[in-house]
Amino acid sequence: MDYSLLFIQFLNGLQLGVLLFLLASGLTLTFGIMDFVNLAHGSFYMVGAFICASLTFWTGSFLWGVLLAIPLVALVGLATELIVVRHLYRRDHLDHVLATFGLILVFDTLVQMIWGAAGISVPLPQWLDGQVTLPGEIVFPTFRLMIIGGGLLIAAGLYYLVNHTRLGMLIRAGASNRTMVGALGIDIKTLFTGVFALGAALAGIAGMLISPITEASIGMGNEIIITAFVVIIIGGIGSMKGAFVAALLIGLIDTMGRSFLDDIFKLAMSTEAAETAAPAVSAMLIYILMAIVLAVRPQGLFPPKVR
Amino acid sequence: MHIWKPISAAVACASLLLSSSLASAADSVKVGFVTTLTTPAAVIGNDMKDAVDLAMEHIGGKMAGKPVDLIMEDDGFKPEIGKQKADKLVKQDNVDFVAGFIWSHVLLASRKSVLDAGKFLISANAGPSPIAGKLCHENFFSTSWQNDQTPMAMGEVLNQKGVKSIYIMAPNYAAGKNMVAGVERTFKGKVLGKDFTKWGKDAQLDFSAELAKAKASGAEGIFVFYPGKAGGAFIKQYTQAGLEGKVPLYTVFTVDAIALPKLQKGGLEGVLGTENTQQWSPDLDNAANKKFVGDFKAKHGRYPSFYAAQAYDSIMLIKSAVEAVKGDTSNMDGMRSAMKSANYESVRGKYTYGNNHMPIQNFYLRKVVKDADGNWTTKITKTVYTNHQDVYASECKM
């Protein structure tokens, strides 16, 4: 076994996991606290990428693009909550799904009208575009390392926010019993709006961070939102800690599957069969994990304490 | 009484529809064109549409003096929708030709609808192996290539360059498999690793794990096939991973006039100098191509892609058939034999058709360069194959 390759793939998995966490944390907040199923959460991921792309070209710097785009995506989230989502909390989940599916179509079309169908390739500054050499002659793209660092920093910030601030206390209380929080005189409506905007901003950041690796393109959020749902189901709906652990787990499993499954299969079957089976099975791995978790612990790995 | 009113209205409408379609069938040539006009892949479909519109302008909207009724349809990048649209074109619109098709899986799903209805099917891009071999049909023609041919030319190039080992990556679908089979058929060195990545609506676009494997394999080169937006994403990550200059990149259908402007805007200099194989290039020196590329650039301010060139050719091929029968589109045999002779000014230059109605044509090696205006484009550096026929022709009983 080549240990340096193993380590690189570990970093790659970590990077994917961190991105998934940014997306899933907002999803688990809205789902857990407001009991609101938001299929359009991926749209904020896409909108973040596009706004950041435009601002990057406008300011000439990717970092400024990201810094300016974050409040803008939060605003888009805020507006979405005030105009559409607010009126849906009392409805059942099917209505949520229907309405937010409509939102996906609206966002996709809006983006196409504003930015066109082609998608935008976001340039990185020189110092981020290269590679760094880690101990043990391991060469790794600088930007991916920055995603890991930035993502972990945001995760730490969220941990502090949720566990050590008054706002976090309300968020946790809301996840456990939102009726009681309302009954105690907390303005639950404003809390919901704030949390929704926060979730949108987090998803937006994930989109901004992936856009220099792939590109800002229409429907990019719809592709990854399924995985984000898998993350919150495995982690336990409403749990920040669960989202974090599950996101890293899925990032690592997906990357390791893509990396080593064909070699493992080749031990047991012919090369040709392994080449056919490995891509199919590695695409299924995270769903297999979800099925196992659902069978053994239907409430997820770290469910919020009282529900 | 009440019940008769809507029924009679419906009958009246239906007969009106019927008579109008009969009337237009008599005095116009109807061409259906199926491509991808939504989803991010729409960028390819729009390029083809622009080329078809340009072709219509060049022929003055007429074939053999008859007006051409062009019906564009969107397959949404999905085989089942492509089939629905093909059904609609042959049954409802009663078109004479169904052309287009970017994707191999969409073409394979749609072919039966068109061919069973007794209409001509013209592929302007997709060339899956079954259609060239066992499923070949007298009413099918291609203005592109069979999927395996372009990567076969690349395999030959690798041999000529003395490359001893490569790592292969391609999307996991019909064309991806064909592309890999193609390069493996001609490449004489070792294939040190192979990855088929997830494709379709939720295609994998982050290749971190695969690139790390490719690098660790110690291969002398990387061969990839990533059409559409995946191509741009791959090139970026290839550069970011620091493989540029260390492990050369050889591509088919990945670095094209659709990806290049975006890569240039993103400042990805790493793609300059990379090489790919293709049956066409904007700098091919013939009168038809100069007119096509010149007018396309003047109209849209960008280079046409090979998709556009093939779409343009498909309209010209249809025109040659309609003119050979003097506009009598009921004369299927006449149109078929006219198309078989490929007697029109193709933008790729003269080519012929094999028994399976796949082009027998040249393949070139193209290098990514800056043109006189500083725009990134491709330039032919040499001819790899002269009059090359696909390998599945022998499986076709025709």
B169 and B116 in a common domain:
no
B220 and B97 in a common domain:
no
**How far apart are the C-alpha atoms of A12 and A253, rounded to whole Å?**
11
Contact A130/B at CB under 8 A: yes
Question: What chain B residue is nearest to A212 in terms of C-alpha separation?
Answer: B236
Which helix (H) or strand (E) element contains residue B73? strand B66-74
Residue B195: burial class (beta carbons within 10 Å; 0-12, 13-18, 19+): buried
Say whether B194 and A131 touch across the interface (CB within 8 A): no
The CA distance from A130 to the nearest CA of chain B, in Å, is 6
The CA distance from A196 to the nearest CA of chain B, in Å, is 26
Residue type, position B90, single letter: V
Find where tokens 């499923």 sit. Answer: B135
pTM of the model: 0.85
CATH number for the domain harbouring residue A92: 1.10.3470
Say whether B242 and A139 touch across the interface (CB within 8 A): yes
State residue A175's pLDDT score.
74
Residue type, position A152, single letter: L
Contact A124/B at CB under 8 A: yes
Say whether A9 and B195 touch across the interface (CB within 8 A): no
Average pLDDT of the residues of chain A: 91
Question: What chain A residue is nearest to B231 in terms of C-alpha separation?
Answer: A214
State residue B301's pLDDT score.
93
Residue B312 placed within a domain: yes
State residue A250's pLDDT score.
96
C-alpha dist (Å) from residue A93 to A39, A98, A100, A271: 11, 9, 10, 46
B240 contacts in chain A (CB < 8 Å)? 124, 129-131, 141, 143-144, 213
Runs of H (alpha helix) within chain A? 3-34, 41-59, 62-83, 93-115, 126-129, 142-164, 166-176, 178-183, 188-210, 220-235, 240-268, 271-296
Say whether A121 and B209 touch across the interface (CB within 8 A): no
- Choose the closest CB to A214 out of B39, B206, B216: B206
Best B240, B243, B244, B255 member to test A by mutation, with max A CBs in 10 Å, is B240
Residue type, position B163, single letter: V
Contact A60/B at CB under 8 A: no
Per the model's pLDDT, the better-predicted residue between B332 and A126 turns out to be B332
A23 contacts in chain B (CB < 8 Å)? none
**How far apart are the C-alpha atoms of B82 and B110, rounded to whole Å?**
6
Say whether B265 and A121 touch across the interface (CB within 8 A): yes
B122 and B235 in a common domain:
no
Domain count, chain A: 1
B215 and B300 in a common domain:
no
Residue B355 placed within a domain: no
State residue B392's pLDDT score.
95
Size of interface A-B (CB pairs under 8 A): 111
CA angle at B378 for the pair B377 and B383, rounded to the nearest 5°:
170
Residue A73 placed within a domain: yes
Say whether B43 and A118 touch across the interface (CB within 8 A): yes
Number of neighbouring beta carbons within 10 Å of residue A217: 28
**How far apart are the C-alpha atoms of B234 and B199, rounded to whole Å?**
14
B140 and B154 in a common domain:
no
Residue A2 placed within a domain: no
Residue A134 placed within a domain: no
Which helix (H) or strand (E) element contains residue B173? none
Contact A121/B at CB under 8 A: yes
Strands, sheet with B120-123, edge to edge from the N-terminal-most edge strand:
B62-63, B66-74, B29-35, B97-100, B120-123, B140-142
Residue A147 placed within a domain: yes
How much is the CA Rg of chain A, to the nearest whole Å? 20
Chain A residues 186-245 with a CB less than 8 Å from chain B: 210, 212-215, 217-219, 222-223, 226
State residue B299's pLDDT score.
96
Could you tell me which of A278, A246, A273 has the C-alpha nearest to residue A259? A278
Could you tell me which of B383, B371, B381 has the C-alpha nearest to residue B261? B371
Average pLDDT over residues A49-75: 96
Segments of chain B with pLDDT less than 50: 1, 3, 10-11, 13-25
**How far apart are the C-alpha atoms of B68 and B30, rounded to whole Å?**
6
Residue B357 placed within a domain: no
CB B228 within 8 A of CB B254: no
The CA distance from B40 to the nearest CA of chain A, in Å, is 6
**How far apart are the C-alpha atoms of B209 and B22, rounded to whole Å?**
58
B156 and B29 in a common domain:
no
A52 contacts in chain B (CB < 8 Å)? none
A275 contacts in chain B (CB < 8 Å)? 194, 196
pLDDT over 70 (residue A284) = yes
Best A258, A260, A272, A287 member to test B by mutation, with max B CBs in 10 Å, is A258
DSSP for A66-106 reads HHHHHHHHHHHHHHHHHHTGGGGTTS-HHHHHHHHHHHHHH
CB B259 within 8 A of CB B227: no
Question: What chain A residue is nearest to B202 in terms of C-alpha separation?
Answer: A223
Residue B195 placed within a domain: yes
Average pLDDT over residues A29-40: 87
Residue A1 placed within a domain: no
The CA distance from B328 to the nearest CA of chain A, in Å, is 39
CATH number for the domain harbouring residue B49: 3.40.50.2300
Find where tokens 């991806």 sit. Answer: B176
Helix, strand, coil content of chain B in percent (nearest 5): 45, 20, 35
Residue range of the domain that includes A153: 11-126+141-296
A111 contacts in chain B (CB < 8 Å)? none
Average pLDDT of the residues of chain B: 91
Domain count, chain B: 2
Find where tokens 């695969």 sit. Answer: B210
Residue A150 placed within a domain: yes
Find where tokens 């492990």 sit. Answer: B247
Residue A105 placed within a domain: yes
Residue B238 placed within a domain: yes
State residue B21's pLDDT score.
44
State residue B5's pLDDT score.
54
The CA distance from B56 to the nearest CA of chain A, in Å, is 24
Say whether A259 and B40 touch across the interface (CB within 8 A): no
What residues does B359 pair with on adjacent strands? B353
A9 contacts in chain B (CB < 8 Å)? 209, 212
Is beta strand B221-224 parallel, antiparallel or unpaired with respect to B165-171? Answer: parallel
Residue A304 placed within a domain: no
Say whether A131 and B242 touch across the interface (CB within 8 A): yes
B216 contacts in chain A (CB < 8 Å)? 2, 4-5, 8
B163 and B300 in a common domain:
no
Residue range of the domain that includes B254: 149-278+363-395
The torsion angles phi and psi of B31, rounded to 5 degrees, stand at -125, 125
The CA distance from A258 to the nearest CA of chain B, in Å, is 7
Say whether A213 and B237 touch across the interface (CB within 8 A): yes
Instruction: Give tens-digit pLDDT for A145-187.
Output: 999 999 999 999 999 998 899 988 888 888 778 788 888 888 8
B208 contacts in chain A (CB < 8 Å)? 12, 15-16, 141, 144, 255
